[in-house]
Chain A
Amino acid sequence: MSGFKKNAAGLTAFALLVLVLPYLLPNEYYVNTLIFAFLNAIIVVGLNLLMGYAGQISLGHGAFYGLGAYTSAIATATYGLPMGAGLVLGIAVAVVAAYLIGIPTLKLTGHYLAMATLGIGVIAYIFFNQTIELTGGPNGFTGIPRLKLFGYEFESDLSYYYLVGGVLTLVVLFSLNLIDSKLGRALRAIHTSEKAAQVSGIDIARFKLFIFVLSAAFAGFAGVLYAHYLGFVAPSSFGFHFSVTLIVMSVLGGMANVWGGVAGAVFLTVLPEFLRAFEDIESIIYGGILIVCVMFLPEGIAGGITKLTGFRPGGRKADAEK
């Protein structure tokens, strides 16, 4: 089972890297950047499963990130619920929302699906902005307690880093296992030929919904971790701009590749730290990346590496030229 060995090797290497990285960094500040990078990676891995493997699209995934963040924040800060409840509620709300939205939305395809998910993202953003009593509105929601589980409070940046790194490793592990199973094959089948998939007994609607909800769960989970790290959330972090950033990360890393998703997310989260004028030219870079990748590198960084070295880092060739 060489595929399994490759995955195991990759995961071990990654886990070691996560363990050791903070001590290689010149400045403790970068740990903070890596935390955000890993949070984004958690979402993008889910998005890759949805877009690269199952062939769907979501231009509004920031909504689920926001739902997870706000739900847990409100549950713990406003209602004083224990952290565990906040965590569960945050993910649950994202999951339920995705389920309800997904049923009608995933019947759509192509442009209609893209626009519907975009619309949902915008509606969520408007909701976060306007329900001021609940969410604090445009000024944001403050006073969110630091994450505390089983009595241990993740006070320091370093401890939070290891928490998020651990969650990411688990998420990657689960995603790789998912792909390498009948569920993964069903998803990939749906991507290339819905007709043939149905004939093989695959319930298309149910699978699309499943992967949509799963990717929303990842995003919701990341949202909870985000809220309890930053202590503060605002609608602007979850709007169209962020949803598009997620897409750029996914495309850059390689949509049909789990490790690609991690790479894309980390690269684009870390990049602004090194480009001082980044904020001004961010849109130009993102737009350029999308155009260049689709035209020349349909499988992103991961695809480029595969072509150069022949080594396939835990992904499958996406049908980008269909």
Chain B
Amino acid sequence: MELSSYLQFFISGLTVGSAYGLTALGFTIIFNTTGVINFAQGEFVMIGGMLSVFLVRLPGIDLLPAILLAVAITTAIGALIERFTIRPVKNASVINLIIITIGVSILARGLAMLWWGKDTFALPHFSGITPINILGAFILPQSLWILAITLTLLVILKVFFTHTIFGKGMLACSFDRKAAWLVGIGVEKMVLFSFMISAFVGAVGGAILAPITMTSFDVGILLGLKGFAACIVGGLGNPFGAAAGGLILGVLESFGAGLVSSAYKDAITFIILLLLLFIKPSGLFGRADTERV
């Protein structure tokens, strides 16, 4: 097989992997601040994409404003979810929290289906569909947009978490909520913020990916699962690991689909996920947990 085919698989893997990575990042941010795995994370991606599609169809709204508005609305939805379904039950058991976020995810999907129907929709490519020829592989401009925006977002978040008070406060919550609370960090606000940032990140992912992979009311399920798998690959709780995990998973899936079988490509991700959970749940970059008994 030629270099160009490998490059093709690689780039398309990175493209899809970016979506997984951004979803995984969303999981990680919420998990780090609250210890909760938000099963509805995939729906943020779905809503971001779907809202973009429908806003752009409204008269007078161009692509960029549509996307910005969609992301803003999704962020607000993230805040609402935290306020009304998570905060009231913050002391519930893990199983109950899992069930609530599953409930939110199903509810979001149901509403999306009611409003937008079951069809698949496409968002216009950001800068046209003429493929660019790189070393024999044909790359869509959208792929480059995806990679560029993802990278930018990662850099912005990194700066946010390490150089701003708010970001550092959220990190503090992830290490020790009680201690953070004791030193005056408003933990409740941090939790709210974590949901908003995760929604933001997810929505951006949904909007930039929609032109290539299309979007529909139920893309959230599989994306959520793969995003979680990416978290595990990179080590749950590690934002850098989550993004890297997403990219790795995307590339593995792409090569698997290309070289082995496209029908079983989804199964590949889950088998990887299961193997990791069984053998090394701390993933590639996670610390092994040393807990004080």
Q: Which residues of A contact B (CB under 8 A)?
A: 51, 55, 57, 59, 104-105, 107-112, 114-116, 118-120, 122-123, 126-127, 130, 240, 244, 247, 251, 280-291, 294-295, 298, 319-322
Contacts and interface: CB of A to CB of B under 8 A. Distances in A.
A253 B107 CA distance: 19
B207 to A, nearest CB: 23
A51 B92 CA distance: 15
B106 A283 contact: yes
B88 interface: yes
B225 A320 contact: no
Contacts of B107: 283-284, 286-288, 291
B106 A319 contact: no
B96 interface: yes
Contact of B89 (A110, A126, A294): A294
A127 B266 CA distance: 11
B102 A290 contact: yes
A57 B98 contact: yes
A105 B278 contact: yes
Interface string B103-135: 111111111011000000000000000000000
B274 A120 contact: yes
Nearest to A114: B98
Contact of A281 (B110, B225, B267): B110
A126 B267 contact: yes
Given A284-B114, A287-B106, A290-B106, A320 B92 contact: yes
18 contacts: A110-B94, A114-B37, A114-B98, A115-B232, A116-B274, A116-B277, A120-B270, A122-B270, A123-B274, A126-B264, A130-B263, A240-B221, A283-B107, A286-B107, A287-B106, A294-B96, A295-B100, A321-B92
B271 interface: yes
Given A283-B106, A320-B93, A320-B96, A122 B225 contact: yes
A110 B98 CA distance: 8
A119 B41 CA distance: 16
Residue in A130, A247, A283 with the greatest tally of chain B CB atoms within 10 Å = A283
